[in-house]
Structure 1
Amino acid sequence: MTTIAYSISASNPNAHQFTVTIDIPAHQHSELTLSLPSWLPGSYMIRDFAKNIITFNASAHQQQIEFRKTDKQTWLLTTNGEAVSVEYDIYAFDLSVRTAFLDNQRGFFNGSSTFLEVKELAEHSCSLQIIKPEGLSNWKVATGLPRENGTDIYQFGDYIADNYQHLIDCPVELGDFDVIEFSVANVPHYLVFAGRHFGDRERLKNDLSKLCQHHIDLFGEAPFTEYWFITNLLAEGFGGLEHKNSTVLVASRFDLPNPNKPKELTDNYKTFLSLCSHEYFHAWNVCRIKPEEFVPYDLSKEVHTEQLWAYEGFTSYYDDFSLFRAGIIEFKEYLTILSKTMTRVYRGAGELKQSVSESSFDTWTKFYKQGPDAVNNIVSYYTKGSLIALWLDLTIRQYSNGKFSLDNMMRTLWLNHGKTGVGTNEQHFIDIANQLCSCDISTQFIQLLHTANRVPVKQLLAKVGIAFEHTPYKKLNSFESDKNSEYKPYLGAFYQQTPAGLKVTIVENNSPAEHAGLSVDDIIIAVDNLKANEKSLQSLLNHIPENKLIDCHIFRDDKLLNLQLKIVCAPKLAVQLDVADDELVNNWQTII
């Protein structure tokens, strides 16, 4: 089978332009269809990557050939079976994990936003030549693509892919990046940092090694021969996207551990490790174990599945739990993280309006294109899915008398679906759960997936020694819980500090903010005739008597409005989890 030869060069870094060429060998087709995906796996929204193609040319024997564009992302070439060369320029100026970026400091690209697929030859092998930019001698290459023709690790040169899907599943970082190398289960791992950082390299290596080892032990094997954490460090940023042997991360440079404080474990560092844990777990769960609707992927249009509660939800359960199981955080710290997750689910009315299967199916619009009503009208298949994972873990442990756990379900899914490439459906999860429980839990399981009801974990947690309590928020603009019985004012609006005032980001249903008429994007400038900022508003409302009406001055667009705000005592919307029985807790902590 012939190979399709791609090449890419940073042709104009200052204009943020890559140039891509595709040399297609002689074939048996009178016409060829070249198309760019509309979306990429793991990010369920139509992205229309083809909008960034600036120029397009096709030739044979150094003569232009006939082509026409048939839709927003597809070109049809008249080739008469001859070898063809295609060249196009891509505008690359997106700092997210999804697309491509290029300036004179670094370059990055996801193949799904960069390389056109030759539809008729999609299963042919692909080569990729990454051309070194002129005048940037210190730049290197980081990618999970296999190297060939003597190209060494980090070098510009020749890379190879089994087919087009393999080509676009291996993102590429270019630049003068820092790398931390470590080995887990005899598999080389590379932690790449694009951007200046001050992180404790040895601590990062040790902590990530523990997390990776935990996940490999859980599934029983590593499904890759090398793994890359490609991380773009910014002043502020957060995000991740999974691939089969790599992940692309965005983080703040100060999320990393401070070498001057070797014992400090900040919330930001825990969040970074959780992100790494989440994306690494995806190497098994969604990159290989995947819904039947994704086998194979159709990247030209929306592909709906009701199963993302298992793929993002289960992964979200393990990402934080694994920090404890790997010995990085204490169990009390894990309970604090889990409490916050539960609070995010319980705080809004959306959980009681949309099921997780509906949330998954509608991810293309309602989840990835969230409006200001999101907290009140939809539920996240990430967070509620993680509670379903918790429910399953504790339920399986209970019915099997501690013989099995959710770990066993993940291993079964790996053997039956991940290694075989057979996609899952809902019944597969139900059947495995019933088998592990040695009884039929189908009715409860199906209700959790298809009804907008709360996940009943309170009694299950009690059986493993965890006390579950609903409490008020600790303070305004916070989801932290506080069991202290003293009066706490409640606004029901969340906000960000801006130079103009407090910009409202969330208004909860049936809250003082909603009753007063506050809306998302309003700018609160004064409350009770005093200038409002995050600190002063908390102090003021702490001193206002319960149920008193006060003036709230806001800007809505450029219009000044005066609303009447009644402050009430905070309802119990947060969750507090505490260890009630150390001996029983072992029944949950035990790795099975």
Structure 2
Amino acid sequence: MSIKYTVNFDLANQHIYQVTIQIPAHKQKQLNLSLPAWIPGSYMIRDFAKNIIDLRASANGQEIEVELIDKQSWKISTLGQACEISYQVYAYDSSVRTAYLDQQRAFFNGTSLFISVDEFADAPQQVELQKPSFTDKWKVATGLQRPNDTIVYQFGLYQADNYAELIDCPVEIGDFTHLEFEVAGTPHYLILNGKHFADCQRLIKDVSKLCQHHIDLFERETGGKPPFNEYWFLTNILPSGFGGLEHKNSTALLCSTFDFPNINKPGELSEGYKTFLSLASHEYFHNWNVCRIKPQEFIPYQLNSESYTKQLWAFEGITSYYDDLSLYRTNIVEFSDYLKTKSKTISRVNRGKGQLKQNLIESSFYTWTKFYQQGPDAANNIVSYYTKGSLVALWLDLNIRKHTGSAKSLDDVMRALWQEYLDGGEGYSGTQLETVIDIAESITQAPIKQAFFDILNGKDIVPLTELLAEFGVEYKQAASKINSPLDISAENHSPYLGIIYKEAKLGLEIAQVLNDSPAEQAGLSVQDVIVALDNLVVNTGNFSNIANNLNLDKSYPITYVRNGELFTTQVQLVKQMNELVELKLVDEEKAKGWQQIN
């Protein structure tokens, strides 16, 4: 017995999906309806039900009362009769987490669109996507199953084995570019929805390499086939944007128009393109680490309220370690480029004081309020389990290599975890995650467990200097440019202000003020807009030039706007701070121990 959803797009001008659910005759006297409050992979209560409009139910042509239970739950009395539920969903969020609809594009996650009939949650679910009346150019891209009479990219009937699968398959619709390629004998689809100038053949070549790398890492012992029958990269392209969300056979990506290889510059590897490839790599790695190997607290997902875990540092941190590393391993970037990227990651963690106030266990646990709802104090008071978690993964990888002469690595730990999952593992609780370090200790035959847990529970910098030196990489402090907070300055005179800013209509808007900085001491705050320094009007083009011509032993007026009022205070720039980290290859022979793929 299955239920059927029908999705209509004809109110695209109003950004409204029209949805109906057809429910067959059943044994229950009443049915419970609900909509998730959050989506797996994005740990924040989003209250998707706030976008539900005009929810109605009927049976035999007669309307049935819909009883309100709470903000996302309803109940209807059906007396076992076949019935229909109809409602509308307002959808105008271009992120990867929710839903969007206009005349050019449709996108949705099932968590935003499909109200669950709880008594049918384990039953097959059908979805009819109706072709819109206002265009014949739109195509459909989704990891939902296609019955035999539904052809890829076509509107029509799709299906899922249960509600959990239904909401795990986002849908991208529009007049998009579709690229097809095979990796390990498995069809892959790369969808580009939006204006782009991509060298599509190069894009396929590079993404294929990354997919093959991850398959080889996890599936070397299991036949070399990924754990899905097909895979979809659903990419929304905007003038500026960034984001990704993992699913079991697809990912929703958000990127910029110019984050692709330029067909007119075949040898160029832009920063935007490297960022896109790293994002695609990250989400594809999640097929194993998070989508299948996951915290026990997420089995099954409880989507009506927060689900707390202390382990996101491992699931996101380890994934974040491999996303950039795989670009080097697949020869997309040189090792020196990889070290520059890793330098920025370390610098991003170390330049704020958040890691001195919050450990990785706390960072994982409080993600619901502190990470996904960051306040203006974020850089100073919290640490990211993505970035610092990736440094712990680096520490663990190098320790395993150090104690085994690079015969083993973190790769072997991940394969062991995957094998345990395949053998019937049900996820890892806080204590069971000791499995990770137990595997590492058994591989290395070295007592590294205590140091590992000290790092996880400690509030300090991850000790990497000596460890990297053993692999031919120098770890040294460096000063930043005043206008590029993560770029290293080569100037002898580069004053330090202690802010991160972005361009404003007039002047510079402060995004972060670091603790104990000249900006903090001057009373500047996040969201202030600096309009002048030393009575010279500033913009992103001249700010560093002005600052670099000021003396360090004097105070200067700095004028800013706060809440619509104009203020002036005095600021004294200080000597450039060595707050960044620069990784430099100094011994190529030693570095081979890190570069070796196990």
Please give the range of the TM-score, normalised by the shorter of the 2 chains.
over 0.9
Is 1:136 equivalent to 2:135 in the alignment?
yes
Give the 5 Å matches for 1:114-133.
Answer: 114-133=113-132
CA distance in structure 2 between the partners assigned to 1:162 and 1:410 by the alignment:
29
Is 1:263 equivalent to 2:267 in the alignment?
yes
Shift of 1:485: 6.7
The answer to whether the Cα contact below 8 Å between 2:506 and 2:539 also exists between their aligned partners in 1 is no
Equivalent in 564, 578, 584 of residue 558 of structure 1: 564
Corresponding residue for residue 9 of structure 1: 8
Corresponding residue for residue 458 of structure 1: 465
Give the 5 Å matches for 1:153-192.
Answer: 153-192=152-191
Give the 5 Å matches for 1:336-355.
Answer: 336-355=340-359
Aligned partner of 2:244: which letter? G
SS at match of 1:534: coil
CA distance in structure 1 between the partners assigned to 2:190 and 2:491 by the alignment:
46
CA distance in structure 2 between the partners assigned to 1:532 and 1:244 by the alignment:
48
Equivalenced residue count is 590
Q: Deviation digits for residues 17-70 of structure 1, max 9, x if unmatched?
A: 111111112222111111000000010000000011111111111211232010
Corresponding residue for residue 592 of structure 2: 586
CA distance in structure 2 between the partners assigned to 1:402 and 1:65 by the alignment:
67
SS at match of 1:403: coil
SS at match of 1:494: strand
Farther off after superposition, 140-149 or 22-31: 22-31
Q: Percent identity, please.
A: 52
Aligned partner of 1:429: which letter? V
CA distance in structure 2 between the partners assigned to 1:184 and 1:149 by the alignment:
23
Shift of 1:204: 0.2
Shift of 1:327: 0.8
CA distance in structure 2 between the partners assigned to 1:149 and 1:226 by the alignment:
16
Corresponding residue for residue 570 of structure 1: 576
Equivalent in 413, 419, 422 of residue 417 of structure 2: 413
Corresponding residue for residue 517 of structure 2: 511
SS at match of 2:369: helix
The answer to whether the Cα contact below 8 Å between 1:476 and 1:489 also exists between their aligned partners in 2 is no
The answer to whether the Cα contact below 8 Å between 1:101 and 1:109 also exists between their aligned partners in 2 is yes
CA distance in structure 1 between the partners assigned to 2:354 and 2:187 by the alignment:
43
Corresponding residue for residue 443 of structure 1: 450
Is 1:332 equivalent to 2:336 in the alignment?
yes
Is 1:305 equivalent to 2:309 in the alignment?
yes
CA RMSD of aligned residues (A): 1.1
Deviating above 6 A after TM superposition, structure 1's stretches of 4 or more consecutive aligned residues are none
Q: Deviation digits for residues 228-276 of structure 1, max 9, x if unmatched?
A: 0000111111111110000001111111111000000000110011011
Shift of 1:421: 5.0
- Structure 1 residues 421, 127: closer, same or farther in 2, change over 3 A? farther
Corresponding residue for residue 41 of structure 1: 40
Farther off after superposition, 434-443 or 218-227: 434-443
Corresponding residue for residue 474 of structure 1: 481
Corresponding residue for residue 500 of structure 1: 506
Shift of 1:86: 0.7
Q: Deviation digits for residues 331-363 of structure 1, max 9, x if unmatched?
A: 000000000000000000001110011000000
SS at match of 1:367: coil
The answer to whether the Cα contact below 8 Å between 2:34 and 2:74 also exists between their aligned partners in 1 is yes
CA distance in structure 1 between the partners assigned to 2:57 and 2:132 by the alignment:
24
Unaligned runs of 5+ in 2: 220-224
Corresponding residue for residue 215 of structure 2: 216
The answer to whether the Cα contact below 8 Å between 1:289 and 1:418 also exists between their aligned partners in 2 is no
Shift of 1:537: 1.9
CA distance in structure 2 between the partners assigned to 1:477 and 1:556 by the alignment:
24
Corresponding residue for residue 231 of structure 2: 227
Corresponding residue for residue 429 of structure 1: 436
CA distance in structure 1 between the partners assigned to 2:99 and 2:75 by the alignment:
24
Is 1:360 equivalent to 2:369 in the alignment?
no
Shift of 1:428: 2.0
- Structure 1 residues 458, 418: closer, same or farther in 2, change over 3 A? farther
SS at match of 1:490: coil
Corresponding residue for residue 222 of structure 2: none
TM-score normalised by structure 2 residue count: 0.97
Q: Deviation digits for residues 356-407 of structure 1, max 9, x if unmatched?
A: 1100000000000000000000000000000000001001111222221000
The answer to whether the Cα contact below 8 Å between 2:125 and 2:161 also exists between their aligned partners in 1 is yes
TM-score normalised by structure 1 residue count: 0.98
Unaligned runs of 5+ in 1: none
Corresponding residue for residue 282 of structure 1: 286
SS at match of 2:531: strand
Aligned partner of 2:341: which letter? I
- Structure 1 residues 454, 304: closer, same or farther in 2, change over 3 A? same
Aligned partner of 2:439: which letter? I
Corresponding residue for residue 58 of structure 1: 57
Farther off after superposition, 182-191 or 543-552: 543-552
The answer to whether the Cα contact below 8 Å between 2:405 and 2:593 also exists between their aligned partners in 1 is no
The answer to whether the Cα contact below 8 Å between 2:555 and 2:572 also exists between their aligned partners in 1 is yes
CA distance in structure 2 between the partners assigned to 1:506 and 1:414 by the alignment:
40
CA distance in structure 1 between the partners assigned to 2:3 and 2:448 by the alignment:
50
Farther off after superposition, 293-302 or 58-67: 58-67
CA distance in structure 1 between the partners assigned to 2:113 and 2:390 by the alignment:
34
Q: Deviation digits for residues 548-588 of structure 1, max 9, x if unmatched?
A: 11111111112211111001111110000011100000000
- Structure 1 residues 419, 276: closer, same or farther in 2, change over 3 A? farther
CA distance in structure 1 between the partners assigned to 2:491 and 2:85 by the alignment:
70
SS at match of 1:449: helix
Shift of 1:135: 2.9
Q: Deviation digits for residues 521-549 of structure 1, max 9, x if unmatched?
A: 11111111111112322111111111311
Equivalent in 253, 258, 269 of residue 254 of structure 1: 258
The answer to whether the Cα contact below 8 Å between 2:10 and 2:134 also exists between their aligned partners in 1 is no
Is 1:109 equivalent to 2:108 in the alignment?
yes
- Structure 1 residues 479, 192: closer, same or farther in 2, change over 3 A? same
Is 1:236 equivalent to 2:240 in the alignment?
yes
CA distance in structure 2 between the partners assigned to 1:162 and 1:408 by the alignment:
33
Aligned partner of 2:14: which letter? A
- Structure 1 residues 295, 418: closer, same or farther in 2, change over 3 A? farther
